[in-house]
Amino acid sequence: MTTSLFLVQLINGLQYGLLLFLIASGLTLVFGVMGILNLAHGSMYMVGAYLVWYFVEHTGSFGLSALISAVIALLIGILMERTLIRQLYRRNHLDQVLLTIGMIFVFNALQGLLWGNDPLGVAVPSALSSAIPVTDVLEYPVYRIFVALFCVGIAALMYFMINKTRLGMLIRAGESNREMVECLGIDIRKLYTIVFAIGVMLAAIAGVAAAPMSSIVPGMGEHILITCFVVVVIGGMGSIKGAFIAALLVGLVDTFASILVPQLSSMMIYILMAFILLIKPQGLFSS
Amino acid sequence: MLFNKRTERIFFWVFFPLALLMPLFLAENTFFVSKLTSIMIFALFVMSLDYLVGRCGLITLGHAMFYGLGGYLFWMIAPEYEAVNFWVYTFYICMIAAAVALIIGFLVLRTSGIYMIMITLAFAQMAFYFFSDSIEFGGTDGLFIYVKPETSIFGLSFFDLDNPTHFYYLCLLSLFNTLIFFRILIRSRFGRVVDAIHENPGRTTALGYNIFVFRLMSYVIASALGAYAGYLFTLQYGFVNPSMLAWTTSGSALVMSILGGMGSIYGAILGTFVYEGLHYVLEHLTEHWMLFMGALIIAMVMVFKNGIAGSMEKLLEKRT
């Protein structure tokens, strides 16, 4: 492998890892704070991609479409939490698994109903459609670099929100002792709604960001969901820091495995996960 | 008595005589006979999962791994153009699957709760990609089984596997035996300890039982039976493909088991028949059947907490 190819793959791996972090962070946040395992999280990734396609078709502007899609996702999140997820806080994981599998069915059916089952594509926004030449024959698309930087920005924002703001303080308090938070006179139900809606929105934003890089197909949600499980489990359920490191690890392993050991490439991240869980059954950074 | 609940006895005496007579009414309609056969095969698989999740409290999202393994194992160990003995290969496949389950269970059962859900999923995905990516195993297309086994015991052959009605009765017999087997297992000393572990692992440990060994044994038994169901599926359709081990197979089996009534064992048959029946009807009514299926699952979690078996028991059992 030449140095330039190595560099391109390194950036690819990091960029993929950062995108995974965006989805996995929502999953792990919801689990850490609310104790809910949301299998329908991947569906929101799919919803984000389809929404941005729909609005780009109608408005022509990617930025505006992205914004509208994020807001709609936030509203869907609030609706989901208020009507269904709320009933599950005192139930076991099995009921949560079942309810969210039901939601996957509903989301997939709605996607088929509204947008059909043909693969769709979104054009890369014109401002970001150029490519940076790496060598004479290799070049790297600006949009991918933009997505990577955008994900880093979101990660920084989340770090700031959780560690420095009042909302973050409540989230951390809710994680360690929910009864005590309630005793202090804080409406934990409102906090849960906010956390769930943010988690869902993060997944949808990842879907929006991924839309111009990959084709929009039915079932894209389930595929990414399983990969995010791997990330969340390696990082330790509920740990955002863990999710960040694990997402980069998974992104890099997946990218390099497809070049170095193509026969094992799809299995590699699961092997990694099994290996890590055998050494640390609670993941790398369990809370 | 083998069945300690009235509902269970009623189910037993309604379902099995009906299933026994069914092919007489459907003699002309081989489509329905094979449809019912495939539902019974899946019910057997769901039953093994129900034992694991409902009785042992070991939630797994990777049970389909053994379902697929049952099919692939047959292709691997049986000669391609020669009819082998069905019973001998049943024994081989269950034993190999049990050995695999022993190793995987040893690793998986070190974790618990949500981590166990995830790591079982990880192993199943590994198996899924192993088979769907390899050319030797036919990739995503899977493989064909050209010759079905013969079923003679001591020179007597009761079933001809190429005949759908014969195959139907073989699957009914398998389902019957599995139900009886689980009932005996649950009533045995072993089953009592497993129930105690589900109820309170800490106290069972304090009583001097090694709970890891009991869990591992349960995992091995359920996995071997899951592989047997996959083996029957492969024989019915004459092929094996990676979608058998997809996580959606595990997921829908879990839904059926919960729909039937978790941990009731006979509920697995109810759940599978109701789910597959609804699936069949909705699929023919509308192409958006998933919407109704999803809504049904959500409603089930919200309202109908103990599944069909639980609701029936509430209606039929004498109040004490």
DSSP code string of A208-260:
HHHTTTS-B-TTHHHHHHHHHHHHHHHH-TT-HHHHHHHHHHHHHHHHHHHHH
pLDDT at B318: 64
C-alpha triplet B259, A110, A69: angle, nearest 5°: 125
Please state which CATH number belongs to domain A3-279.
Answer: 1.10.3470
Sorting pLDDT into bands at 50, 70 and 90, what band is A1?
Answer: low
**Total tally of structural domains belonging to chain B:** 1
pLDDT band at B1 (very low <50, low <70, confident <90, very high): low
pLDDT score at A200: 94
At A122, is the pLDDT very low, low, confident or very high (cuts 50, 70, 90)?
confident
DSSP state of B28: T
Tokens of A5: 């190819």
Q: What's the pLDDT score for residue A231?
A: 92
Residue B229 belongs to domain spanning: 6-19+34-316
Q: Is A141 helix (H, G, I), strand (E, B) or coil?
A: strand
Best residue in B291, B304, B306 to probe A by mutation, most A CBs within 10 Å? B291
Q: Which residues contact B268 (CB under 8 A, 6 or more apart)?
A: B43, B46, B47, B49, B50, B256, B257, B260
Q: Is residue B25 part of a domain?
A: no
| pLDDT tens per residue, range A271-282 | 888 888 778 878
Lowest mean pLDDT among A215-224, B246-255, B306-315: B306-315
Amino acid identity at B253: A
N-terminal to C-terminal alpha carbon distance within chain A: 39
The CA radius of gyration of chain B, in Å to the nearest whole number, is: 19
B217 within domain boundaries: yes
Q: Is the pLDDT of residue A94 over 60?
A: yes
DSSP conformational letter for B150:
B
Write the DSSP string, A3-46: HHHHHHHHHHHHHHHHHHHHHHHHHHHHHHHH----TTHHHHHH
Whether the CB-CB separation of B148 and B235 falls below 8 Å is answered with yes
For residue A236, count other CB atoms closer than 10 A to its CB.
24
Question: How close, in Å, is residue B297 to chain A by CA atoms?
Answer: 5
A128-132, B18-22, B67-71: which range is least confident on average? Answer: A128-132
In this structure, of A5-14, A126-135, A256-265, the range with the lowest mean pLDDT score is: A126-135
Q: Does position B319 have pLDDT exceeding 70, yes or no?
A: no
Which residues of chain B lie closer than 8 angstroms to A277, CB-CB?
A: 111, 115, 118-119, 122
B299 contact partners, CB below 8 Å, separation of at least 6: none
Q: Which residues contact B188 (CB under 8 A, 6 or more apart)?
A: none
Which residue's structure tokens are 């618990």? B112
Residues of B in Cβ contact (< 8 Å) with A270: 122-123, 125-126, 129
Half-sphere exposure of B137 (CA within 13 A, CB side): 24
B162/B102 Cα distance (integer angstroms):
34
Q: Are the C-beta atoms of A99 and B297 separated by less than 8 Å?
A: yes
| pLDDT tens digits along B229-286 | 999 999 999 899 999 998 889 989 998 998 888 888 999 999 999 999 988 998 888 8
More confident position, B220 or A87: B220
Which residues have CB under 8 Å from A49's CB, separation 6+? A122, A207, A208, A210, A211, A216, A220
Subunit contact A94:B293, Cβ cutoff 8 A: no
**Residues A174, A165 contacting (CB under 8 angstroms):** no
- Are the beta carbons of B117 and A93 separated by less than 8 Å? yes
Least CB–CB distance from A282: residue in B115, B130, B134: B115
Residues B3-23, mean pLDDT to the nearest whole number = 87
| Chain B residues interacting with chain A (CB cutoff of 8 angstroms) | 53, 59, 61, 107, 110-111, 113-115, 117-119, 121-123, 125-126, 129-130, 132-134, 247-248, 251, 254-255, 258, 262, 287-291, 293-298, 300-302
Q: How far apart are CA A252 and CA A247, in angstroms?
A: 9
Q: Which pLDDT does position B320 carry in this prediction?
A: 52
Q: What span, in angstroms and rounded, lies between the C-alpha atoms of B158 and A264?
A: 44
Candidates B59, B251, B287; nearest CB to A101: B251
Note whether A277 contacts B126, CB cutoff 8 Å: no
CB–CB contact A233 B122 (8 Å): yes
